[in-house]
């Protein structure tokens, strides 16, 4: 009987080690505009960074992993952005995926997206 109990405990430990830890993740995005693409991209990336800091503080998170993730455009003045309004190429860094389009008022509007996991 003792051997069976030890075998069950050992099997339970082995199964627990084989199960990956579950990570919670969320996709966040920041949008900004500019009169040139460089300015709009920089502002969108900064907006995303600020939102990640805010999200971490509001949810009492410590260390997180941030990776680039394409987010949908978040236009200010229109309901959607059609494909012919997009400015290519997209800007992808290790921490953000930025897409840009022709704005209604500003020449460029960009949304930067990232997946944040903890």
Q: Compare 15 and 93 and report the one with higher pLDDT.
A: 93
Sorted by where each begins, the domain ranges of the chain are 23-117
The C-alpha atoms of residue 87 and residue 53 are separated, in whole angstroms, by 28
pLDDT tens by residue, 56-78: 999 999 999 999 999 999 988 88
The C-alpha atoms of residue 77 and residue 27 are separated, in whole angstroms, by 23
In this prediction, residues 11-35 reach a mean pLDDT of 71
Strand partners, 86: 101
Reported pTM? 0.79
pLDDT tens by residue, 73-110: 998 888 899 999 999 999 999 999 999 999 999 999 99
The C-alpha atoms of residue 115 and residue 5 are separated, in whole angstroms, by 43
pLDDT band at 7 (very low <50, low <70, confident <90, very high): very low
pLDDT band at 21 (very low <50, low <70, confident <90, very high): low
The phi and psi torsions of 82 (rounded to 5 degrees) equal -80, 160
pLDDT at 36 over 90: yes
What share of the chain has pLDDT > 90, as a percent?
A: 74
């Amino acid at each position: 009987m003792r051997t069976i109990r030890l075998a069950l405990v050992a099997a339970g430990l082995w199964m627990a080690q084989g199960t990956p830890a579950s990570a919670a993740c969320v996709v966040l995005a920041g949008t900004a505009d500019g009169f040139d693409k460089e300015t709009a991209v920089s502002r969108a990336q900064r907006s995303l960074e600020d939102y990640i800091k805010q999200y971490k503080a509001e949810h009492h998170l410590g260390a997180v992993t941030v990776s680039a993730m394409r987010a949908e455009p978040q236009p200010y003045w229109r309901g959607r952005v059609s494909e012919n309004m997009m400015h290519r190429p997209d800007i992808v860094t290790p921490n953000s995926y930025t897409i840009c389009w022709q704005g209604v008022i500003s020449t460029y509007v960009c949304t930067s997206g990232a997946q944040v996991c903890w």
